[in-house]
Chains A and B, each alone.
Chain A
Amino acid sequence: MRNDDSILLGAVAYDAKVVPIWEGIRDYFVSERVPFDFALYSNYERQVEELLAGHIDIAWNTPLAHVRVRQRTGGTSLSLGMRDSDRDFHAKIVVRADASIGNVKDLEGKRLAVGSRDSTQARILPLHFLEEEGVDLDRVTLVPFDTDLGKHGDTGSSELDVLRALHEGAADAGAIGDLVWVTEQAAGRIDPSKVTVLYTTPGFDHCMFDALPTLPEKKRADFTRVLFAMKWEIPEHRRLLELEGLRAWMPPREEGYRSLEEAIAKGAR
């Protein structure tokens, strides 16, 4: 374990904006007299190993990385908090209007565009839930967009690839996260004559701040106290919250990861 006083947080540099986000949060913590710094990794696999090795105090993890930390620590890891937007995530199956797909069973024999194989919302869980709905995935032709592997779907680029493939007719259906779907619709970037929604998965939870059980109590208390004091109505905070995609930090909860644990246990495609 590191033995200096500052909280060292790990995050994955999935986009250039990650630097101003964590520099802003570091400055905010320091202004609240909590020593804080961050380290950036290029992928979640390395970040998880660094957390387990005690090189960082806290890791800002995707659901896949969170579940791995839980498994590797035998369920003893500490979950410290999440974004409001991480709760009740859903995935969508969207389809071409001309593909004659009226229900999920109709996906058999069709081309289904999916995101990166480490994307929870654009591949792992939509396929898991389709299987639960009785779809024979062996009869579905997957059109994968394996971009940004190691980033666990954070960039959202594979979800945009899925939508592009649908608009262009390179796939009959596609799997994406609900936030990308409603955001793209609201922005007017979806042609309703070509692409429409078919199915919404059950809810699941997304990112989590993970720590080892050996995290000193003072660091845990300082981190959550200062983090949860961030307010959307405060202009300097709002700028950081907007960049990180939330309006309020929330306490942790574990039940939202059950479906992902099951999907991994049975061997995600």
Chain B
Amino acid sequence: MLDSSASAAAAVAIDAGELTLSNGLLALVRPALEMLEPGGMLAILSRSSAVREDLASWCRAERHEYAGREAIGEGTERHLIARGPFSVAAGEPEAGLAIAGRDGVPSSAAMLAAVPMPPRANTESGFAPRGARVEPGGPPYPFALIERDHVAPPEVGKLYEQGVAAQWDASRDIPWHTVKPLPAPLEHAVGQVMTFLAENELSALYVPSRFVSQIHPAYAEVALFLASQLADEARHIDVFLKRARAGGGGLGISSVTTSRSLLSLLETRDFTEATFLLSVLGEGTFLDLLTYIETWAPDEATAELTRRARTDEARHVHFGLSHVRWALAHDERLYARLEASVRRRAATLAGVGGVPAPLQDALTVLAAGGTEPRAIARGHEAFRELLATMHQNRLKRLEHAGFSAEQAEMLSNLHTPNFM
């Protein structure tokens, strides 16, 4: 298509043959003009008399300047168009971006990282993918999360890729045949634990989903990661409900303590505060809970599904820690805000007591493996150890996120007795 010899005056030239405006000429003319800056000259070689009549009219309609024509022999004319000043898309055309991973296959993380995230996003670029050239003058979009440092930690692209690779199937990938009839109290305990897990995972599905639509598409990898997290939570809800019902025991009780705790999470309006409460403190604490359930699981299916869920949750915790650490490093006032949100949440739960009683009893029976009194005493001891382990690991995560030892101690002690 390009022919630089057609005219010394034109930056771009096209041979349009006998094409007219009625049968496709514009499919050559418009992309060629798009390659030019305003004022840049396009030469069109044409053998059509209709083009002679209509090209100037089209230029008028599109505010390009028709700069005249000349015969160049054999019924062919050369028309010149200077690109007009309107609707010039910003930025340079993309070319030659490296998107291959280590194995040479296109990698999501490398593909996303090939165009750096802007420090602040333009709300008038709408849903344009990062890197697209955007025509100016588009309507403003109501995205609230438009600053990289409050949305997107550098490793989020890699976490998204890991999240996609780690998807599993709640039916096929669990050895359900290992679920055998258990003594009624133990099966009841399993059902209660699964009820609690499913209820909390429902909140972990709903809370991040509130923020996805607020994230500017310039930070699409955060929305993509959260989408993989939502798919994880959906699968967890599915697999926990399956386990509760697979052994014939069914679901247990939902406590007001849990309900209050999760409402205070759902009502958190700030993305970083919600991520801190849900992923760092809540899902972080759940890692220890899931380890406990896997350790005392009465069958291989229960052990496998809690192990798989924990692997997913560890990725969510990783994102939460990355996000909070990155945001803290760029906003000194954030420490005080996060502390205040933990205190506010603790105040709404004041006076509700400790761990929801049905859950505590079920965790005790689970670790005891039954209801024999000496076994129950051992189960109770295991539960006490779980609480201590949760506290110790919360301290580690808080310090990893950037809090001091004193701040970590205070925040961990204020954390909800509902674990999430």
Listed in ascending order, the chain A residues whose CB lies under 8 Å from chain B are 84-85, 88, 90, 92, 178-179, 181-183, 185-186, 190-192, 195-200, 232-235, 238-239, 247
Inter-subunit contact A192/B57 (CB<8 Å): no
Closest 3 CB pairs of A and B: A192-B22, A178-B57, A185-B21
Contact in complex: B57, A179 (CB < 8 Å): yes
Which residues 7-34 in B have Cβ within 8 Å of A in the complex?
Answer: 20-23, 26
Query: A183, B50: Cβ atoms under 8 Å?
Result: no
How distant is the Cα of A61 from the Cα of B54 in the complex, in angstroms? 27
Chain B positions within 8 Å of A191 at CB level: 22
Segment among B131-139, B228-236, B251-259 that sits at the interface with chain A? B131-139
- A121 → chain B, closest Cβ, in Å? 12
| B139 closest partner in A (C-beta) | A235
Which residues 367-409 in B have Cβ within 8 Å of A in the complex? none
22 chain-A/chain-B pairs, Cβ below 8 angstroms: A90-B57, A92-B53, A92-B54, A178-B54, A178-B57, A179-B61, A182-B57, A183-B61, A185-B20, A185-B21, A185-B54, A186-B21, A186-B26, A196-B20, A197-B53, A197-B54, A200-B53, A200-B56, A232-B137, A235-B138, A235-B139, A235-B140
Contacts A179-B57, A182-B61, A200-B53; is A235 near B124 (CB within 8 Å)? yes
**Structural contact, B57 and A234, CB atoms closer than 8 A:** no
Pick the residue among B54, B87, B137 that contacts A181 (CB under 8 A). Answer: B54
Given contacts A92-B53, A182-B21, A235-B139, 6 further A-B contacts (CB under 8 A): A90-B60, A178-B57, A186-B21, A190-B22, A192-B22, A196-B22
- Cβ of B158 under 8 Å from chain A: no
B61 touches A196 (CB 8 A): no
Q: Tell me which of A84, A197, A239 contacts B50 (CB under 8 A).
A: A197
CB-contacts of B63-106 with A (<8 A): 63, 86-87
**Which residue of the partner chain B has the closest CB to A188?**
B22
Report how far A196 CA is from B87 CA in the complex, Å. Answer: 29
- How distant is A107 from chain B, measured CB to nearest CB, in Å? 15
- Considering the complex, give the chain A residue whose CB is closest to the CB of B51: A197
Q: Flag whether B211 is at the interface (Cβ < 8 A).
A: no
Given contacts A84-B63, A190-B22, contact A181 B139 (CB under 8 A): no
A179 to B54, CA, bound (A): 10
The main secondary structure of chain B at its interface with chain A is loop
B-to-A contact residues, CB < 8 Å:
20-23, 26, 50, 53-54, 56-58, 60-61, 63, 86-87, 124, 136-140
Q: Which residue from chain A places its CB closest to the CB of B50 in the assembled complex? A: A197
When distances are taken between beta carbons in the complex, the residues of chain B under 8 Å from A239 are 139
> Across the interface, which residues of A come within 8 angstroms of B26, CB to CB?
186
CB distance from B309 to the nearest CB of A (A): 46
Tell me if A's interface is mostly helix, strand, loop or mixed: mixed
Give the residues in chain A near B60, CB-CB below 8 Å.
Answer: 85, 88, 90, 178-179
Q: How far, in whole Å, are A60 and B58 apart by their CA atoms in the complex?
A: 25
CB distance from B62 to the nearest CB of A (A): 8
Min C-beta distance of B134 to chain A, whole Å: 12
Judging by beta carbons under 8 Å apart, are B61 and A192 in contact? no
CB < 8 Å neighbour of A233 from B22, B23, B63, B136: B136
Q: Are B137 and A234 in contact (CB under 8 A)?
A: yes
Nearest A residue to B57 via CB reads A178
CA distance in complex: A183, B21 (Å): 9
Alpha-carbon gap, A247 to B21, bound state (A): 22
- Bound Cα distance A190, B140 (Å): 36
- Expressed in whole angstroms, the Cα–Cα distance for A185 and B26 within the complex equals 10
What is the bound-complex CA distance between A239 and B124, given in angstroms?
Answer: 14
Knowing A185-B21, A186-B21, A238-B137, say if A232 contacts B54 (CB, 8 Å). Answer: no
Chain A residue with Cβ nearest B60: A88
In the docked arrangement, what's the CA distance between A63 and B311, Å? 74
- Given A192-B20, A232-B137, A247-B63: A186 touches B57 (CB 8 Å cut-off): no
- Most B-side CB within 10 Å, residue of A179, A192, A239: A192
Q: How many Å from the CB of A123 to the closest CB on chain B?
A: 18
A192 and B48 alpha carbons, distance in the complex (Å): 12
Give the shortest distance, in Å, between A238 (CB) and chain B (any CB). 5
Given A232-B137, A235-B138, A247-B63, check contact A196 B57 (CB 8 Å).
no
A226 to chain B, nearest CB (A): 19
- By the criterion CB–CB under 8 Å, are B50 and A196 in contact? yes
Known: A183-B61, A199-B53. A232 touches B22 (CB 8 A): no
A30 to chain B, nearest CB (A): 21
- Checking A178, A185, A198, A200 against B22 with a beta-carbon cut-off of 8 angstroms, the contacting residue is A185
Name the A residues within 8 Å of B21 (CB-CB).
182, 185-186
Q: Measured between alpha carbons, how far is A186 from B26 in the docked complex, in Å?
A: 7
A residues within 8 A CB of B57?
90, 92, 178-179, 181-182, 200
Q: CA A232 – CA B87 in complex, angstroms?
A: 8
- Among A178, A197, A235, the residue within 8 A (CB) of B137 is A235
The distance in angstroms between the C-alpha atoms of A222 and B21, with both chains bound, is: 42
For B22, the closest partner residue in chain A by CB is: A192
Give the CA-CA distance A183 to B87 in the complex, in Å.
17
Q: What chain B residues lie within 8 Å of A247 (beta carbons)?
A: 63, 86
C-alpha spacing A164/B195, complex, angstroms: 68
Min Cβ gap A230→B in Å is: 12
Question: Measured between alpha carbons, how far is A76 from B218 in the docked complex, in Å?
Answer: 56
When distances are taken between beta carbons in the complex, the residues of chain A under 8 Å from B136 are: 233
Residue of B nearest to A185 (CB): B21
Q: Bound complex: CA of A179 vs CA of B61, how far in Å?
A: 6
A186 CA / B57 CA spacing, docked (Å):
12
Residues on the A chain within 8 Å of B124, using CB: 235
Task: Please report the C-alpha to C-alpha distance between residue A247 and residue B63 in the assembled complex, in whole angstroms.
Answer: 8
Chain B minimum-CB-distance residue to A192: B22
In the bound complex, what is the Cα–Cα distance between A88 and B59 (angstroms)? 11
Q: Determine the chain B residues whose CB is within 8 A of the CB of A233 once the complex forms.
A: 136-137
Interchain CA distance A92-B20 in the complex, whole Å = 15
C-alpha gap A195/B139 in the complex (Å): 38
Task: Give A239 to B137 CA distance when docked, in angstroms.
Answer: 9
Give the shortest distance, in Å, between B28 (CB) and chain A (any CB).
13
The minimal Cβ–Cβ distance linking A33 to chain B, given in whole angstroms, is 23
A234→B23 CA distance, assembly (Å): 34
Question: In the complex, A88→B140 CA distance in Å?
Answer: 34
In the bound assembly, the distance between CA atoms of A192 and B56 in angstroms comes to 19
- Nearest residue in A to B84 (C-beta to C-beta)? A247
Distance in angstroms from B25 CB to nearest chain A CB is 9
CA distance A53 to B138 in the complex (A): 42
